[in-house]
Amino acid sequence: MLDIRGLSKRFGYGKGEVTALHEVSFKIAEGEFFTLLGPSGCGKTTLLRLIAGFTGPSGGSLVLDGKDIAAMPPNKRPVNTVFQSYALFPHMTVGQNVAFALEAQGRPKSEIEPAVEKMLTLVQLLHLKNRKSSELSGGQQQRVALARALVARPRILLLDEPLSALDMKLRKDMQIELKRLQRETGLTFIFVTHDQEEALTMSDRIAVMSGGHVQQIATPRELYDRPANRFVAGFIGESNFLSANASGGVVQVGEGSIALADAKDGAQTLMIRPEHVVLSANAPDALQLQATVTQLVFFGTDTHVHLSLADGTKLVARVQNALHAGQTLSEGERITVSLPAKALRVVKDEE
C-alpha cells in the first residue's frame, strides 16, 4: 500500500549539514500496525513528517496506492496525524470536535451525526459527547483526538508518540485500546515511539531505526528472537554480549567452546537473553563457563542474577521465582553456567 523507496532527508548546508534519513526503503501493507522505533534523534519523526507531507524529501520517492505522493501538499494526502499534544478545540464539545473534519468536507448532517456517534462509541466516550473538550482528563482528550482523526477514515493514520504525555497506568490501558481500535477499524497505522515495550505490545511489524538508518524490520517476536545486529539486540529487550573466536563452525568463549553453524571464522560477538542463561552445568548442547555470582536482585516475578566470568565479562541471568522455592544461590558463590546453543546468536555490528 505504501512503498517508501530510497527516501532521504538532509537538513542545513555545508559543514552544518545533518543527514536525518539515509535512503530508507520499505513497504507497509494495508491494515498493518507498523511502528517506527528508535532512540531520540534516529530520524523517526522526520520519516513520519515526510509521509504526512509536512516536509519534503531530499531524495527518493513515496508511493501510496501506486501513486507518487512526494510532491503532494499535506492536506491533499489521504493521511491524518495524531500528535502527542492533542490540539483539540477547547471551546467545542467532544461531539463537535469529532464532527469538525466531516463538516469541513461538506458532508450532510444526516451522515455526520451517525459517524460521530459510531466513532465515540468505539473510543468509549459517547456519554461525554456534549462535554467541552477542555473539561476532560488527558486520557479522554487523547481518545477524542483519536476519534477525530479516525472519523474521516484516512488511508493511513500517523501517530507521533501519542501516549507519551499519559501516566504509566493510563498509557498501558491506551496501548490496548489503540490496538483494539486499529483492529476494529481495519485502518493502517504508522506509530512512532522510542519505547520498545510499547512497540512490542502493539505492533504487527516494527522498523528499528538508529542514526537515520533502518536497522531491521520484523515482527516483535522475530526482533526479539533474531535481532539482525548488535544495536537491535541491545535496544529490544535485555541482552548479554560475549566476545568469541570462531573457527570451522566452532566458537571459543573463554575456557568453553561450542559448535554454532552460523559463525564465520574470526572474532565474533555472541548474544544471549538473560532468561536463557541456565545456572547449572546440566543443560544439553550448551556452552559451559565458570562464573561468580556478584549480585542477586529480587524483582518479584523473577530474580536477576548478576555474574562475572573469568575474563571479567558481565552476564545477567533471569530466573523465575517459583512458589516455595528457597533461595539457593548466594553472592560470591562460584558456579558453572550453561548457555544453550539454540539461544546463542552471532550478532553483527550495526550499519
Q: Name the nearest CA neighbour of 207 among 215, 193, 217, 222.
A: 217
- Residues 156 and 65 sit within 8 Å (Cβ to Cβ): no
Alpha carbons 179 and 17: distance in angstroms, whole number: 38
Work out how close the CB of 39 gets to ligand ATP at its nearest, in angstroms, rounded to a whole number.
7
Work out how close the CB of 8 gets to ligand ATP at its nearest, in angstroms, rounded to a whole number.
12
Identify which range of 35-43, 111-119, 252-260, 317-325 contacts ligand ATP by CB under 6 A: 35-43
Cβ closest to ligand ATP, residue 18 vs residue 250: 18
Identify which range of 41-49, 295-303, 312-320, 333-341 contacts ligand ATP by CB under 6 A: 41-49
The number of beta carbons lying within 10 Å of the beta carbon of residue 93 is 17
Work out how close the CB of 131 gets to ligand ATP at its nearest, in angstroms, rounded to a whole number.
32
Among 8, 35, 46, 80, binds ligand ATP (CB under 6 A): 46
Check binding of 14 to ligand ATP (CB under 6 A). Answer: no
Give the x-and-dash track for 176-205 against ligand ATP (CB under 6 A): ------------------x-----------
Q: What is the dihedral of CA 139, 144, 149, 153, to 10 degrees?
A: 120
- Residues 141 and 133 sit within 8 Å (Cβ to Cβ): yes
E-assigned strand segments in 135-222: 156-160, 188-193, 205-210, 213-218
Cβ closest to ligand ATP, residue 206 vs residue 317: 206
Check binding of 71 to ligand ATP (CB under 6 A). Answer: no
| Total residue count of the chain as it appears in this document | 351
E-assigned strand segments in the chain: 2-11, 18-28, 33-37, 59-64, 67-68, 79-82, 156-160, 188-193, 205-210, 213-218, 240-247, 250-253, 256-259, 266-272, 286-298, 302-309, 314-320, 334-340, 345-347
Taking CA atoms, 238 is separated from 126, 173, 183, 295, 316, in Å, by: 41, 24, 29, 17, 9
Cβ closest to ligand ATP, residue 20 vs residue 116: 20
- Report, in this order, helix, strand and coil percent for the chain, each rounded to 5: 30, 35, 35
Check binding of 44 to ligand ATP (CB under 6 A). Answer: yes
Work out how close the CB of 238 gets to ligand ATP at its nearest, in angstroms, rounded to a whole number.
21
Cβ closest to ligand ATP, residue 56 vs residue 90: 56
Residue nearest to ligand ATP (CB): 45
Instruction: End-to-end CA distance of the chain: give it in Å, rounded.
Output: 27
How many residues line the site for ligand ATP (CB under 6 A)? 13
Check binding of 40 to ligand ATP (CB under 6 A). Answer: yes
Work out how close the CB of 148 gets to ligand ATP at its nearest, in angstroms, rounded to a whole number.
23
Check binding of 38 to ligand ATP (CB under 6 A). Answer: yes
Among 2, 43, 120, 319, binds ligand ATP (CB under 6 A): 43
Check binding of 163 to ligand ATP (CB under 6 A). Answer: no
Among 7, 32, 35, 45, binds ligand ATP (CB under 6 A): 45
The footprint of ligand ATP (CB under 6 A) covers 11-12, 18, 20, 38, 40-46, 194
